[in-house]
Amino acid sequence: MTPDGAIPDPLALPPGPTAVSEGLDDFAVSRGPWLAAVLADLRRASGPKEPGGRPVVLVERQCADVARWLGLASVTLPRECAERLTFTTYTRRPGSSAMRVVGMLPEDAEAARAAGLRVHVCTGQAPPGGGTDDVWATTAARVWRSRSPELFREARELPGEPFAAGPLAVTALCAGIALGPDGRAAATRWAADRPYALDAKRTGQLVEALTSPGIDDRTGPEFDAAGRLFGALEGRCPASVTAPLAAMLVTEAVRGGNGSLELPHRDAFVGPEGAEVAERLAPEILTELGDRAGPRSVARTVQLLRVARLLGVDGTDALPGVVDRLAPALLAEAEEESGAGAEGLPGFAPALLELLDEQFEVRTALLGALDRLAPEDPGAVARFLERVALPFTGTQALPHLRMCAEVPGAMATLGGDRAAVWHRVLRAAGLSPFAEPLVLRTAVGLVWEDRAPTVEEARLLLDAATSDAHRAANTWARLVDAALGASAAEPPATGTPVGPSPASTDEAAALAHDLLRGFPGEIGGRERAGLLLLDLVRELRTGAPEPGWAETVRTLCAQADPVEPALRERAHTALVERLLAPDRPGAELYDFVHGDDAELIAAYDRTARTETVRTRLRTQPAYAADCFTVWTAHPHAGRTWPPVAAALLDEVLRPAVRAMSAEDVAEVEATVGRTGSSGRADAFRTWNRVSTLGRLGRRIAGRVRRG
C-alpha cells in the first residue's frame, strides 16, 4: 500500500541486503531504548502461528530503518524463525495487512493504536524503562548495544530452547557484557543445570562475571541460583574456580541477610581464599550474634551460626546468649506461622535441623535452653515438637522436652482420661517430682493447659508430691482453682436435704482444708477467703466450727468478693441447715436471728420450706416442737426475722401439725412444755386451737353451703 501524493523518499532504498545490513550495529545502538521491546514482539511474531494474525507495527521516519529492524531480527533470531517474518516497510492500513511486520510513518501511528495493534514508535522520546520483562529480549538488546552480534550464533550452539535466556546470557557474560539481575540469574540457573556444557575457560569467565565486585544489584533469586551453581561445580572444577562463588554466598549470608541461601560445604574455605573471607567476616558475625538489642529472626540466627562454622569462627563465648534468645524465638515464630494458617514444617525448620546435625555444641545448648523454657509454656513447646522433630535422643536428660514430645501420643491413646495421661507424661520425664519439682508444672501444663483440674484430679496431684514440691513448681495455684472451681460448678439445688451434701462437695471442702494447711503462706486474698468458706462448710456439716458462725460466713463472703454465687449459696445452705438441726448451739441461733442479715434469713426460709424439713416436721413431734420454740422465741429480733418466722409458723409448721395424729400433737405440746415453760405450752395450745377452730369453721361453712 502507498500513501496518497508523492512517494516518500525512503522507498528509494537501493535493493539488496548489503545496504540494509551495513551499519546494523550503529542502528541498534541508536535504537537502544526500543530494542528489547521490539525484539520481544518480533520473536513472538516469528512463531509457527502468530496468534490472531495481528501485525507488529514499527513506526520510523525512514522505510529503510524498518528494513534495518528486520535485519536485526535476521541476525538475532534462528533462521527458520526469521524466515517467517513477512513484512512491508510501509503501509497506511496495517489492520488489513497480511504481513507479520509492517512499517508506518509517525503521523499514522495513532490510527494503528486505535485499531488495537502492537505499535512501537521508534522515534522521538524514549519509552520509560526497558519496555518488556522478557529476559531473552533484554539480553539480546544488551548484546546489540555492545556491538557483538556474533554472540547470537555462539549462543545457538549451546544446549537449550531457541529463545531460552540462559544460553544467550551465559554467552554475553563470558564475553564481558554486563547484564542485569534477571539475566545473571538466567545464566546461573542454566549453568547449574548443565555444568558439563561449558569448558574450563568459559566456566571461569562465567564465575568471574557473576562474582564481579562491581555488581551491587544482586537479588535473592540470583543468589539462590548461585548456590545451586556452586553445588553443581563443586568437585567438578578446581577450588580456585569455585572459591569466588563460595565467598560471594557467605558474604551475602552475613551482610545481605538472605536466609534461604544454599551454603557451600566447609571444605570450600580451607585455602587462603577461605582465610581471607573468614578474616573479613568474623568480626561482623560475632558482633551480630552478640547483639542483644532488637529482634532477630530464627532464619537469620541459624544462618549466622552455620556461616560461623563454615569459616571456622570461634563463637563459644557468645553461644549461651545466642541460644537463650533463639529458643523463645523458635516457639514464637512457629506459633505465628501456625496462627496464620500454615501447616507442616515452619519455614526455618530445614536450616535449623541442618544446623543441629552439623554442630553438636549448638544442638546441646539449644535443646537445654528449650528444656528450661518448657515449664513456662509446655503447650507451645509440645506444639513446636509436633511440627519439628528435634533430635534429643542422645545422652541429655531433657525431662521437660521428653514430656512435651510424649503428650500427643498419650492423649491419642488414652483419650479423655487425663489422670492416666498425666501419669504417662510424668513417666516420660524419667525424673521423680520429689527430685525435680518442675516436672510437676510441665506435666500439669501439658495435660490441663489453661483449664483447672477436677477435685479428684487435684487430689491426685496433691498426693503425688509434697507441698514443698508443689510450692517449688507453683502448681498449688492449680489446686486452689480446682477447689474453688468445683464449688462454683456444682451449686446445690433447691430442696437439698438437711444432712450431708453430695460427695463432690465434701471432696472440694476436704481439698480446701488440706490446701489451707499445706500452703498457709502462699494462699491469700480472696482465694484464701474462698477456701476458708469451703472449709467452714465442711466443719458445719461434720464438726464443730469456732463460735460466731453467721458472722464468719458474712466476713468470709466479703473477703472473697466477688465470690462465686454457688460458693456463697453453699456456705449459706450449710449454715442454715446446721441452725435448723436440733443440736445447734443456742448462742449461734441467737446471733443469727439478731444479726438481721436478710440474705442469710432468706436462705433459712428457703431451706425450712424444703420437702425434707416438712417431712421431719410431720413425722417427728420433737422436731416440730423445737421449730415452734425457735420460730416463736424472738418476736422482736429486728425487722427481717419476725415476718419470716410468722410465715414459717403459718405456712410450714401449721400444715405439718394438722397432718399429725392427736397423740403426736399432744407429744409436741408436752415437748414444748418440757423444753420451754408452761407459758410456752399455753402458747402452743392457743396457736393450735386457732388452727383447730379455723378447720372447724371451714367445715361448718361447707355444710351450710351444701344445705
Question: pLDDT tens across 608-637, in order?
Answer: 999 999 999 999 999 999 999 999 988 888
Cell of 565: 454465687
Output the pLDDT for position 9: 43
Q: What is the pLDDT of residues 493-528, one digit of tens each?
A: 444 443 334 566 788 889 999 999 999 999 999 999
The CA-CA-CA angle for residues 569, 572, 575, to 5°, reads 145
Instruction: Say yes or no to pLDDT of 686 above 70.
Output: yes
Where helices occur in 211-340 by DSSP H, the ranges are: 220-233, 239-251, 272-289, 298-311, 319-339
In this prediction, residues 201-220 reach a mean pLDDT of 93
Expressed as residue numbers, the domain containing 683 is 621-707
Residues 630 and 589 in one domain: no
Residues 580 and 631 in one domain: no
Instruction: Say yes or no to pLDDT of 37 above 60.
Output: yes
In this prediction, residues 360-377 reach a mean pLDDT of 95
Instruction: Say yes or no to pLDDT of 211 above 60.
Output: yes
Q: Is the pTM of this model over 0.85?
A: no
In this prediction, residues 376-392 reach a mean pLDDT of 93
Residues 582 and 604 in one domain: yes
Q: Domain for residue 265, yes or no?
A: no
Output the pLDDT for position 489: 57
Angle between helices 399-414 and 438-448 (to 10 degrees): 30
Output the pLDDT for position 127: 78
Residues in contact with 264: Cβ distance below 8 Å, sequence separation at least 6, in sequence order: 227, 230, 234, 242, 245, 246, 249, 250, 310
Structural domain count, the chain? 4
Do 253 and 263 form a contact (C-beta atoms < 8 A)? yes
Residues 582 and 626 in one domain: no
Q: Domain for residue 89, yes or no?
A: yes
More confident residue, 502 or 585: 585
Q: Domain for residue 259, yes or no?
A: no
Residues 579 and 643 in one domain: no
Q: What is the mean pLDDT of the chain?
A: 86
Instruction: Say yes or no to pLDDT of 317 above 70.
Output: yes
Output the pLDDT for position 659: 92
Q: Domain for residue 625, yes or no?
A: yes
Residues 601 and 672 in one domain: no
Instruction: Say yes or no to pLDDT of 437 above 50.
Output: yes
Q: What is the pLDDT of residues 692-707, one digit of tens each?
A: 544 433 443 343 344 3
Residues 589 and 489 in one domain: yes
Output the pLDDT for position 495: 42
Q: What is the pLDDT of residues 443-487, one digit of tens each?
A: 999 999 888 899 999 999 999 899 999 999 999 999 999 998 876
Question: Measured between alpha carbons, how far is residue 27 from residues 32, 69, 110 in Å?
Answer: 9, 9, 24
Output the pLDDT for position 136: 96
In this prediction, residues 297-307 reach a mean pLDDT of 92
Output the pLDDT for position 16: 38
Q: What is the pLDDT of residues 130-184, one digit of tens each?
A: 678 899 999 999 999 999 999 999 999 999 888 999 999 999 999 999 999 999 9
Secondary structure element (H or E) that encloses residue 102, with its range: strand 101-104
Output the pLDDT for position 14: 38
- In degrees and rounded to multiples of 5, residue 605 shows phi and psi of -60, -45
Instruction: Say yes or no to pLDDT of 294 above 80.
Output: no
Output the pLDDT for position 462: 93
Instruction: Say yes or no to pLDDT of 601 above 50.
Output: yes
More confident residue, 584 or 544: 584
Instruction: Say yes or no to pLDDT of 555 above 50.
Output: yes
In this prediction, residues 640-663 reach a mean pLDDT of 94
Q: Domain for residue 143, yes or no?
A: no
Amino acid identity for residue 675 in this structure: T
Q: What is the pLDDT of residues 67-106, one digit of tens each?
A: 999 999 999 999 999 898 888 888 888 877 888 898 889 8
In this prediction, residues 378-400 reach a mean pLDDT of 91
Instruction: Say yes or no to pLDDT of 534 above 70.
Output: yes
Residues 597 and 648 in one domain: no
Domain-terminating residue out of 107, 132, 157: 132
pLDDT band (50, 70, 90) for residue 4:
very low
Secondary structure element (H or E) that encloses residue 87, with its range: strand 87-88
Residues in contact with 327: Cβ distance below 8 Å, sequence separation at least 6, in sequence order: 366, 369, 370, 372, 373
Q: Domain for residue 533, yes or no?
A: yes
- Report the C-alpha dihedral over residues 41, 43, 45, 50, rounded to 10 degrees: -120
Output the pLDDT for position 20: 44
Residues 10 and 113 in one domain: yes
Output the pLDDT for position 494: 41
Output the pLDDT for position 8: 42
Residues 45 and 118 in one domain: yes
Instruction: State the CB neighbour count (10 A cutoff) for residue 707.
Output: 5
Residues 481 and 528 in one domain: yes
Residues 25 and 120 in one domain: yes
Output the pLDDT for position 499: 35
Cell of 275: 582465610
Output the pLDDT for position 330: 95
Instruction: Say yes or no to pLDDT of 12 above 80.
Output: no
Q: Domain for residue 479, yes or no?
A: yes
Q: Domain for residue 260, yes or no?
A: no
Domain-terminating residue out of 109, 132, 155: 132
- In degrees and rounded to multiples of 5, residue 56 shows phi and psi of -85, 130
Q: Is 121 helix (H, G, I), strand (E, B) or coil?
A: strand
N residues, the chain: 707
Instruction: Say yes or no to pLDDT of 10 above 60.
Output: no
Domain-terminating residue out of 339, 356, 391: 391
Do 70 and 60 form a contact (C-beta atoms < 8 A)? no
Output the pLDDT for position 603: 96
